[in-house]
Structure 1
Amino acid sequence: MDLIGQLSQQLGVDGTQAQGLAGSLLKMVQGTVQEKVGPDAARQMDQAIPEMQGWQQTAAAQA
């Protein structure tokens, strides 16, 4: 099962809420990676997780 499906099932939230949660969490992780490792590593996250930007937009819309 995918990350959003797992979050939705485990936390009892709908898919949109799970996307927002994933986006918020990954944004924090990406910020920490950028700070501790560097911007190149943070950009690699964008490439490795193409859905991340959309999830982060969903998180911003829910805030």
Structure 2
Amino acid sequence: MRESAGRRLAYATLFAILAGLLVAFWNPIEHFKADLRADGQGFKFSIELASHLLELGAKRL
């Protein structure tokens, strides 16, 4: 059931090329970092908006 060394080398080369293409055209780490930055900025904005609305509500009382 074991594959030949040549076939394993061919699969390893194919997967290495696919991994290289994946990183070259779509770097998942950079996309993840950008998502985290966007989420962080959105969270900061929502906190600022909530505090502003709370201040407006307190002024009316």
Q: Classify the TM-score, shorter chain.
A: 0.3 to 0.5
More helix by share: 2
User: Which of structures 1 and 2 has the larger relative contact order (alpha carbons within 8 angstroms, sep 6+)?
Assistant: 1
